[in-house]
Structure 1
């Protein structure tokens, strides 16, 4: 059993945070303008730097050995235990994975459709908390303020709604809601706070189902 990824959606239906751990296929970077700023550096649109402009810059640090003009993604993950992987644009274009903005919309669309179906079939008192396929299990926790925490895990995993509640009551309230530097409901900015990301990572890695 393992945990694949975490999505956080605000009350405007926008994905404001993303983090993954054991995905076999990472999504492609989102298209320009497809997602909010500061959702995740791993899925943010790639910035193409003009080599002529870069070379003619007035300032160039001798320690700056990372250049984005090569078109090679050196590392897209945040797990330091895995070796860095290189992927050329031609390899990425042959992949059948979706851009992240399309993937995020599909995940939210599934949640909205199933939640509405359950309310119509079972009444308003029934809540949609999870569903399972042969490849994964989706877990949902929705706050009173309209934020939706979505986690994808191995299909054999038990319910992880309590984990999503812990993320909300712990790191989210501490480093996002009570942080005056984080813009809430701005419709322009995500919540990719370093302390929040590190705290979520530590909490998830400490679970017994995380292998």
Structure 2
């Protein structure tokens, strides 16, 4: 049994944090403007420094005068018979993936409330390949964790993350902007503490 990934959504239905561990295929980089900065370094689109800073496009070495690059703007034409390489992690961009995860949780939660009444709450569901766990705080934050389908409920783990690192390094940290529509959870202490907590679980390996 193992844990695949963790998503955190705020009350505005926005993904503000993401972390993965045993994911078979790495997440695809999000579209430009599709995800908040600091959600996760591996999914945030990195801009080309040379494209944004013209001074970094110097093609001559100032000391030797040797040409380093010529015709950088000329498009490269593939050789005859060459095939375009499709990335190994081709799939949905992360922003679309995050919307789908939240949409599934929202739909199942509404269905449970309508069919079973207000006393019943949606906490998890299982497929043949993964199990989704949900923990929702009173302030509207939703912690969603994906794990091996045979794993027991991980609500207590997400509650520990909320009561421990989340409150300590996010809520009580004056430098972290809460309910911001401009940044995700930009706290390296929170990311490190969460990673250490998950790796210490018996279900992790």
Question: Which interval holds the TM-score relative to the shorter structure?
Answer: 0.7 to 0.9
Choose which of 144, 151, 159 in structure 2 pairs with 1:150.
Answer: 144
Tell me if the contact between 1:171 and 1:196 (Cα under 8 Å) persists in the aligned partners: yes
Distance in structure 1 (CA, Å) of the matches to 2:198 and 2:136: 18
Q: 1:12, 1:165 → 2: CA distance?
A: 20
Pairing of 1:27-38 with structure 2 (within 5 A): 27-38=27-38
Q: Which runs of 4+ in 1 moved over 6 A?
A: none
TM superposition score normalised by structure 1: 0.81
Distance 2:55 2:105 in 1: 45
Cα distance in structure 1, aligned partners of 2:89 and 2:149: 24
SS in 2 for 1:109: helix
Q: Name 1:100's counterpart in structure 2.
A: 94
Cα distance in 2 for partners of 1:103, 1:182 equals 25
8 A Cα contact 1:26 1:97, kept in partner: no
What TM-score comes out, normalization by structure 2 length? 0.83
Asked whether the equivalents of residues 16 and 191 of structure 1 are also in contact (C-alpha less than 8 Å), the reply is yes
- Give the whole-Å Cα distance in 2 for the aligned partners of 1:210 and 1:97: 26
Unaligned runs of 5+ in 2: 60-83
Alpha-carbon offset, residue 125 of structure 1: 1.1
CA contact (8 A) 1:29 1:45 kept: yes
Q: Name structure 1 gaps, 5 residues minimum.
A: 58-88
The range that moved more, 10-19 or 31-40, is: 31-40
User: Which one of the candidate residues 163, 169, 192 is aligned to 1:169?
Assistant: 163
Q: Is the 1:27–1:99 Cα contact (8 Å) retained in structure 2? A: yes
How far residue 37 of structure 1 moved from its aligned partner, in angstroms, is: 1.3
RMSD across aligned positions (CA): 1.7
* Count of equivalent residues: 179
Pick from 183, 193, 202 the counterpart of residue 196 of structure 2.
Answer: 202
What does 1:48-67 correspond to in 2, within 5 Å?
48-50=48-50, 53-56=55-58
Q: CA deviation at 1:12?
A: 0.1
